[in-house]
Amino acid sequence: MDFDGRDVVVTGGTGALGTTVVSMLLTRGAICHVPYLHESEAERFSHRSHERVRLIDQADLADAAAVERVYRDVKSLWASIHLAGGFAAAPIAETDKKAFMAQIEMNLLTCALCCRAAVIAMTAGGAGGRIVNVAARPALEPRQGGGMTAYAASKAAVAAFTEALAQEVVDRDILVNAIAPGTLDTPGNRAAMPKADFAKWARLDEVAATILFLASPDNRVTRGAIVPVYGRS
What letter does residue 129 receive in the DSSP assignment? Answer: E
Rounded CA gap, 100 and 106, in Å? 10
Q: Which of 36, 71, 151, 230 is catalytic?
A: 151
Give the span between the Cα atoms of 32 and 187, in whole angstroms.
Answer: 24
222: number of Cβ within 10 Å: 15
First to last CA, the chain: 28
For residue 31, the Cα-to-chain-centroid distance in whole angstroms is 17
DSSP symbols for 163-218: HHHHHHHGGGTEEEEEEEE-SB--HHHHHH-TTS-GGGSBPHHHHHHHHHHHHSTT
- For this structure, is 230 an active site residue? no
Cα-based distances in Å from 106 to 113, 210, 216: 11, 23, 26
**Residue 156: Cβ-neighbour burial (10 angstroms; 0-12, 13-18, 19+):** buried
Q: In what order do the strands lie in the sheet with 129-134?
A: 53-56, 31-35, 7-11, 77-82, 129-134, 174-181, 226-229
DSSP secondary structure letter of residue 142 = G
The distance between the two most distant Cα atoms of the chain, rounded to a whole number of Å, is 50
The residues assigned a catalytic role are: 151
